[in-house]
């Protein structure tokens, strides 16, 4: 059970990384794996491995990445602990209720 939870968590971290990177990209400026790698002090291949769940990101790089994306590590951890959260990629913003449902949690669980 713990190994399965660990696998799900790091798979979701990789998805979060990729979605966050894509969200920062626009027509004029792309947020590339190279830019992320430079910020973390790793190669773009390592970032690719994080995103594809081939390698687990270490705590220090995770914290630096959260700072880069301007997100609180605790929020990202709580989101990544929910299996299936990143399986739905919405093209329009979701309500809190929809986000909780997709994450498989209640509003009370999200506030903990």
17 class by beta-carbon count within 10 Å (0-12 exposed, 13-18 middle, 19+ buried): buried
CATH code of the domain made up of 2-111: 1.10.260.40
Question: What are the sequence ranges of the domains in the chain?
Answer: 2-111
Report the predicted TM-score, pTM, of the whole model to 2 decimal places: 0.69
Question: Which residue in this structure is represented by tokens 């609180």?
Answer: 72
pLDDT at residue 81, as a whole number: 79
pLDDT at residue 27, as a whole number: 63
Residue-wise pLDDT tens for the chain (112 aa)? 567 788 888 999 999 999 888 888 876 688 899 999 999 999 999 999 999 999 999 999 999 999 999 999 988 888 887 765 555 444 445 566 666 665 667 777 777 6
């Amino acid at each position: 059970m713990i190994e399965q939870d660990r696998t799900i968590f790091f798979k979701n971290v990789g998805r979060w990384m990729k979605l966050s990177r894509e969200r920062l990209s626009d027509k004029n400026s792309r947020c590339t794996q190279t830019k992320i790698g430079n910020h973390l002090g790793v190669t773009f291949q390592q970032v690719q491995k994080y995103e594809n769940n081939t390698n687990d990101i270490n705590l220090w790089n995770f914290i630096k990445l959260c700072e880069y994306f301007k997100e609180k590590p605790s929020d990202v951890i709580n989101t990544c602990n929910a299996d299936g959260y990143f399986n739905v990629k919405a093209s329009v913003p979701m309500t809190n209720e929809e986000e909780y449902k997709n994450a498989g949690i209640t509003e009370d669980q999200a506030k903990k």
